[in-house]
Chains A and B, each alone.
Chain A
Amino acid sequence: MTARQAATYLVLAFGVLAAPGVAAQTSAVAAAPVVDEIRAEREGRPVTSPAIISLIETAAGQPLSMRQVRETIAHLVNLNLFDDVQVLSESSGRGGVRLIYRLVPAHPVDRVEFRGMLGLSEGDLRKAVEDRFGDIPRAAQIENVAGLLRTLYRDRGYPTATVTGEIVPTHDPDRATLVMNVQAGPRPPIVDVQLTQLDADAQGLLDDRPAIRTGIPYDKAAVDRELQRWIDRMRGRNYYEARSSHGVLFPPDGAVLSVSVTRGPRVTVAFTGDSLSENERERLVPIRAEASADEDLLEDSARAIEVYLRGRGYRQARATYLRTPGPRDVTITFDVRRGPHFTFGTVDVTGAASMTPAEVREFLLVKDGEPFTENALGAGVARLRDAYLARGHALVKVEPAESVVAPAAGGAGHVNVTVRVTEGPRTVVRAVAFEGRMAVPEAELRARMLLAPGRPFSEREVAADRDRIDLEYRNRGYDQVAVRSDVMRAENDTQADIRYTIEEGPQVLVDRVIIVGNTRTKAETIERELLVKPGQPLGYSDLIESRVRLGALGLFRRVTIEQLPHASEPRRDIFVRVEEAKATVIGIGPGIEGAFTVRRDENGDAVEQFEFAPRGFFQIGRNNLWGKNRSVNLFTRVSLRTRDVVVGSGGVELTEGRYGFNEYRVVGTFREPRAFGSRSDVLVTGILEQAIRSSFNFLRREARVETGLRLSRLYSVTGRYSLQRTEIFDEQITDPAQKPLIDRLFPEVRLSTFAGSFLRDSRDDVLDSAKGTLLVVDSDIAARAIGSEVGYVKTYVQGRTFYKLPPARRTVVALAGRFGAAHGFPRSVPRVDENGAPVTGDDGAPIVDVVQDLPASERFFAGGDTTVRGFALDRLGDASTISDTGFPKGGNGVVVLNAELRVAVTKRLQGVGFVDAGNVVARASNIDLFNLRTAAGFGIRVATPVGPIRLDLGFKLDRRELSPGRLERRSIWHISLGQAF
């Protein structure tokens, strides 16, 4: 811009040009012609894309409107696809006009090419460009790119390199290539190195010089590295002030380097006066660590020593340093004088009429006998002052006075502190008023204020209220709002009138919402999540929330929402750009599971044996079906393990165990988000699984429909219906007297169940929580009336809470409690023989058995890596739930309590100590919190990208006899993934 242009603009900025006579000339404007036809073209070809055509506001058959023309251009250029949009009119031949929208495509640079005699590798050139300009420079940066490359070539020894750039446009799609044409030219060798030691007179000539060779090409980075190596060597020998630099000239025959070095004196650091430990010296005087002995560092070091000692009660501590130059060295001597040690003596407070002494002590937090430090006293005084301000004493003064009691010879002194409080009047808010243009009703503003008449006045709350008003306006589209607060005190400062003056500025409305990047996702799916709507005010919080909601859909890798202004108009297009995630997701992974498994020995008794089981999973899912965020997913998991093993003494397997894929799970899920226009998601799931348990194996087929509703960030509820058939086989409890009646009567059972869950989750991290709580209440009911062969009601409540302790090392206390209670509905079942004929009693009447238990698959089991870790899987229980042979039967009541301390040892390693307790009982009414099985232990967690790998070793604290003379195993160890709870 020329000075004349600037001066012209200044005139225009300050005053409108006089324009006499204009009015007379423009007394009338002709009526607008009618638009007969509209065309859109791009580089001579017609544009038919509905996404673009829909942005054209002008319509055939309507009078030509320049406002609509402007708005159309604004929408189109906001797509960022066009450099220019030209609107032309021509006669249609039918009395009106034909409008032509000529779209001039933008050609953004998407490639960088290096052409010519490069000399350097293309990788080096590309890296240099990317380091400075990012992946792809903009076309406007072409000269900067050329300049960077010229510098690079010179630094790499090409003194005559030429670099020019050009933009080469390409079409379909409209892009451009940034082409850098390079002629590297010759790379002459280094022919001479002229080394100058600037302090040779004072320090003597160097015996150790930088080793820069001649005869090789010049490379600035290599020379700098060699000079840095020389500096490091010098500093290692206590020449902390060693410096170097170099320059290069390129005469015709090669490169000539001029290297300047300064070794400086050898530096010795000494301490006199009171001693500091070696660690304290290194930390407080980091001359060696920083390889420097400049004055700033020495001053900082002396100050650090004083601050350090004063923080420990040496209030008169002094540290000075002296630089003593020798012929070729310098000695820096720190003189440290601690002075006497002081503690807080008496702490008296005067004038604090409106606070109790206990309250004052709570805020001051300084106690008799503690080391005296100015910082502790200052912090206490500040807390006390803040407390007064919060109570409305806006003019309070809190002034500490120290009275030093000198120490006796060789002893400690103390400082008596008197804190004088001048409370001043307690100011109460008398009135809160609002001035200015009021788009937000005053009542709504008042409802959002912290301060109201009658409340204690606080400057801090005035500022907070000012921010609240500001946000309220911004949420209504007033993005230029300015809010000022004024406070007028009255009645001897006991009353305060607060006035907020609001300058609203223009209200910004949303014009168009333009969505791009969605090739599979329907626009309605995206629009449903957007809180900004065309024609509505552009709210600040709505924009943020919209971005969060779109991200939460899980459909997009990236979401950006931009506001695109219309020139000189308070309207904005909202430009939503999404980058869709892959629609098909495939996951596959092998693994190995290791755990103590309950097996049968040759006597039929349960023994625990550690077994490894290879396992793997395969998952395939398709997201965003029909563009509506529906998804379908198939998950399969299989484990290779034995079904039935008899173990002899010493762990020798006595029988073949039918080794194979005996454990598997296949789950197919269809998810319909916001089903039927509601806020709830619906999941339809089919499950086929076979599992190896401690005392039985089972095969289950299940169909389930589930609906979930997230009530808020913390709360959610789900409800589900499930129809399943479960078959039990390979039962280990064969004695009819031990075997639950229901397992005998219903080895295969059909269950029809309704269930509901309530969840409150405030954890910060689902995989490895450090704070927050989780509460889950889950209830099931199965009944014959809804198709179940047996009926029951079951409730399982679990709560977990996590606290992060203050120590710098990440230390978390984790507590969990789980309670389960179930009750079976009685059912009479006529007893039949092997042929299905009724069995009669002595009286000839059919024998009828009444079952009231839950099926085995629904009973509670505990013990194992996620419950009570001193026990193998399912092995927790009492005589009513563990058979005489040691196999678990499960029960209708369970309780599990856990306490865990998790301490970060390193960034990736965590150490854990835990105490667990719990029990499984036959009847829920038998739960006795004073009769729990307990275990304690320790473990480690190793962080991995898929979550922490866990190794726990648990010890029973109350070992019992399984049978006379046969004690339970003392310890159990577990390998697993993720935290225990």
Chain B
Amino acid sequence: MRRATLALVFAASLGVTVLAQTLLDRVVARVNGTVILLSDVRAAVLFGLVDAPAESEDGVEQMVQRSLLVEEVNRFPPPEPAGDAVDAEVARLRARAGMSNEEVERATGLTADNVRLLARDRLRIQTYIDQRFGLTVPLTDEQVLQYYRAHPEEFTVNGQLAAFERAQGLARERAGLEQRQRTISQWLRDLRARADVSVPAR
């Protein structure tokens, strides 16, 4: 599936003239005045920042979310990531794309500086989320027990449901993760609801 997606990305962005006309780029959304282009989504797919086809609604929606996050991070900036960390992140993105700087620019229009900014923003988003929502969520025993009861399949080994006392540690970890994700999801929905987002007709 991913291979097919990439093939489409390149075919479209290189102007392959198999079809009479090929769409090179366009506006896919505006988020509080910031324009998101189709080539932004294609690049994000290429770097693994978006997990959906670039031309899909889901892909655009993920880019809208990312734009809102970057905006929020710029409003309340976390500590600047170290240069080494950004370098490492750039390397990871490039490895994910499997292309040189020149090839990335030719395919998407993003320069090496643009890619570095993508890497920087990803690290800043991560730091911001960790700072804002914490790495662990304190839970009562009752909440852990509820999770254990609601997800017995996660604590069943060889058809045998582990006793709560034995599974408590794992249940607490997973309940905390679920709680954290629920909180962040709600926060993202609120951000989206407050934002001025317009998506041009296709």
**In chain B between 1 and 40, which residues have their CB closer than 8 angstroms to a CB of chain A?**
2-3, 6, 10, 13-15, 17, 20-27, 30, 33-37, 39-40
Cβ contact within 8 Å between B198 and A140: yes
B171 CB within 8 Å of chain A: no
A646 CB within 8 Å of chain B: no
What would 5 A/B residue contacts be, using CB atoms closer than 8 Å? A16-B49, A17-B96, A65-B106, A505-B77, A568-B114
- Which of A30, A83, A99 touches B200 (beta carbons < 8 Å)? A83
Cβ contact within 8 Å between B13 and A66: yes
The contact string, 1 if C-beta is below 8 Å from chain B, for chain A 607-635, is 00000000000000000000000000000
The contact string, 1 if C-beta is below 8 Å from chain B, for chain A 64-87, is 111111100110011000011111
Given known contacts A83-B27, A83-B200, A480 and B103 CB-to-CB distance under 8 angstroms: no
The contact string, 1 if C-beta is below 8 Å from chain B, for chain A 1-34, is 1010111111111101111011111111110110
CA distance in complex: A513, B3 (Å): 41
Q: State the 10 A-B residue pairs at the shortest beta-carbon distance, nearest first.
A: A23-B98, A66-B109, A503-B80, A6-B185, A17-B48, A84-B200, A70-B109, A89-B15, A86-B26, A67-B109
Cβ contact within 8 Å between B98 and A10: no
Residues of A contacting B99 in the complex (Cβ-Cβ under 8 angstroms): 26, 29
Size bracket of the B interface: 35 or more
CA distance in complex: A437, B82 (Å): 11
Cβ contact within 8 Å between A97 and B98: no
Cβ contact within 8 Å between A1 and B61: yes
Residues of A contacting B198 in the complex (Cβ-Cβ under 8 angstroms): 83, 140
Q: Which residue of A lies closest to B109 (CB)?
A: A66
Q: Which residue of A lies closest to B36 (CB)?
A: A567
Residues of B contacting A357 in the complex (Cβ-Cβ under 8 angstroms): none
Residues of A contacting B93 in the complex (Cβ-Cβ under 8 angstroms): 16
A91 CB within 8 Å of chain B: yes
B192 CB within 8 Å of chain A: yes
Residues of A contacting B136 in the complex (Cβ-Cβ under 8 angstroms): none
Cβ contact within 8 Å between A69 and B34: no
CA distance in complex: A25, B99 (Å): 10
CA distance in complex: A851, B82 (Å): 86
Residues of A contacting B13 in the complex (Cβ-Cβ under 8 angstroms): 66
Given known contacts A7-B181, A24-B98, A29 and B23 CB-to-CB distance under 8 angstroms: no
In the complex, what's the smallest C-beta–C-beta distance from B121 to chain A, in angstroms? 7
CA distance in complex: A567, B121 (Å): 12
In the complex, what's the smallest C-beta–C-beta distance from B31 to chain A, in angstroms? 9
Residues of A contacting B52 in the complex (Cβ-Cβ under 8 angstroms): 8
- Which of B6, B14, B66, B114 touches A22 (beta carbons < 8 Å)? B6
B50 CB within 8 Å of chain A: yes
**In chain B between 94 and 138, which residues have their CB closer than 8 angstroms to a CB of chain A?**
95-99, 103, 105-111, 113-114, 117-118, 120-122, 125-126, 129
Q: Which residue of A lies closest to B20 (CB)?
A: A90
CA distance in complex: A566, B30 (Å): 11
Cβ contact within 8 Å between A70 and B25: yes
Cβ contact within 8 Å between B106 and A32: yes
Residues of A contacting B20 in the complex (Cβ-Cβ under 8 angstroms): 90
Residues of A contacting B110 in the complex (Cβ-Cβ under 8 angstroms): 67, 568
Residues of B contacting A504 in the complex (Cβ-Cβ under 8 angstroms): 80
Q: Which residue of B lies closest to A91 (CB)?
A: B17
**In chain B between 158 and 202, which residues have their CB closer than 8 angstroms to a CB of chain A?**
181-182, 184-185, 188-189, 192, 196, 198, 200-201
Cβ contact within 8 Å between B21 and A89: yes
**In chain B between 32 and 88, which residues have their CB closer than 8 angstroms to a CB of chain A?**
33-37, 39-40, 47-52, 58, 61-62, 65-67, 69, 74, 77, 79-80, 83
Cβ contact within 8 Å between A90 and B22: yes
Q: Which residue of B lies closest to A100 (CB)?
A: B21
Cβ contact within 8 Å between B121 and A568: yes
A506 CB within 8 Å of chain B: yes
A278 CB within 8 Å of chain B: no
In the complex, what's the smallest C-beta–C-beta distance from B85 to chain A, in angstroms? 13
- Which of B17, B47, B83, B98 touches A90 (beta carbons < 8 Å)? B17
Residues of B contacting A77 in the complex (Cβ-Cβ under 8 angstroms): 27, 30, 35
In the complex, what's the smallest C-beta–C-beta distance from B34 to chain A, in angstroms? 5
Residues of B contacting A377 in the complex (Cβ-Cβ under 8 angstroms): none
B151 CB within 8 Å of chain A: no
Q: Which residue of A lies closest to B70 (CB)?
A: A568
- Which of B23, B50, B120 touches A88 (beta carbons < 8 Å)? B23
Q: Which residue of B lies closest to A506 (CB)?
A: B117
Q: Which residue of B lies closest to A33 (CB)?
A: B15
B92 CB within 8 Å of chain A: yes
- Which of A14, A100, A505, A568 touches B80 (beta carbons < 8 Å)? A505
Cβ contact within 8 Å between A569 and B27: no
Residues of B contacting A74 in the complex (Cβ-Cβ under 8 angstroms): 35, 37
A565 CB within 8 Å of chain B: yes
In the complex, what's the smallest C-beta–C-beta distance from A26 to chain B, in angstroms? 5
- Which of B6, B65, B188 touches A26 (beta carbons < 8 Å)? B6
The contact string, 1 if C-beta is below 8 Å from chain B, for chain A 943-963, is 000000000000000000000
Cβ contact within 8 Å between A13 and B125: yes
A482 CB within 8 Å of chain B: yes
CA distance in complex: A88, B24 (Å): 5
- Which of A27, A69, A565 touches B109 (beta carbons < 8 Å)? A69
Tally of A interface residues using CB under 8 Å: 67
Residues of B contacting A100 in the complex (Cβ-Cβ under 8 angstroms): 21
Cβ contact within 8 Å between B58 and A5: yes
Residues of B contacting A90 in the complex (Cβ-Cβ under 8 angstroms): 17, 20-22
A104 CB within 8 Å of chain B: yes
Residues of B contacting A567 in the complex (Cβ-Cβ under 8 angstroms): 34-37, 40, 67
CA distance in complex: A140, B95 (Å): 42
A564 CB within 8 Å of chain B: yes
Cβ contact within 8 Å between A13 and B26: no
CA distance in complex: A78, B37 (Å): 13
**In chain A between 25 and 62, which residues have their CB closer than 8 angstroms to a CB of chain B?**
25-30, 32-33
- Which of B105, B114, B181 touches A10 (beta carbons < 8 Å)? B181
A570 CB within 8 Å of chain B: yes
Residues of B contacting A97 in the complex (Cβ-Cβ under 8 angstroms): 15, 17
CA distance in complex: A23, B96 (Å): 7
CA distance in complex: A569, B51 (Å): 22
Cβ contact within 8 Å between B105 and A66: yes
In the complex, what's the smallest C-beta–C-beta distance from A510 to chain B, in angstroms? 16
Residues of A contacting B23 in the complex (Cβ-Cβ under 8 angstroms): 86-88
Q: Which has the most chain B C-beta neighbours within 10 Å: A1, A33, A64, A69?
A: A1
CA distance in complex: A140, B40 (Å): 25
Given known contacts A22-B96, A29-B107, A66-B13, A88 and B22 CB-to-CB distance under 8 angstroms: yes
Cβ contact within 8 Å between A69 and B24: yes
Cβ contact within 8 Å between A14 and B126: yes
CA distance in complex: A104, B23 (Å): 14
The contact string, 1 if C-beta is below 8 Å from chain B, for chain A 471-496, is 00000000010100000000000000
Cβ contact within 8 Å between B189 and A1: yes
**In chain A between 426 and 446, which residues have their CB closer than 8 angstroms to a CB of chain B?**
437
Cβ contact within 8 Å between A66 and B39: yes
Q: Which residue of A lies closest to B65 (CB)?
A: A9
Q: Which has the most chain A C-beta neighbours within 10 Å: B10, B51, B106?
A: B106
A5-B61, A23-B95 given; 19 more Cβ-contact pairs under 8 Å: A1-B65, A6-B181, A8-B51, A12-B66, A16-B96, A18-B48, A22-B3, A26-B99, A33-B15, A66-B25, A70-B109, A73-B35, A85-B26, A88-B23, A89-B24, A437-B83, A567-B67, A568-B117, A569-B113
Residues of A contacting B105 in the complex (Cβ-Cβ under 8 angstroms): 66-67
Residues of A contacting B33 in the complex (Cβ-Cβ under 8 angstroms): 564-565
The contact string, 1 if C-beta is below 8 Å from chain B, for chain A 562-582, is 001111111000000000000
Given known contacts A22-B98, A29-B103, A505-B80, A84 and B27 CB-to-CB distance under 8 angstroms: yes
The contact string, 1 if C-beta is below 8 Å from chain B, for chain A 243-271, is 00000000000000000000000000000
Residues of A contacting B129 in the complex (Cβ-Cβ under 8 angstroms): 13-14
CA distance in complex: A654, B103 (Å): 102
CA distance in complex: A813, B15 (Å): 76
Cβ contact within 8 Å between A9 and B66: yes
CA distance in complex: A77, B80 (Å): 31
In the complex, what's the smallest C-beta–C-beta distance from A566 to chain B, in angstroms? 8
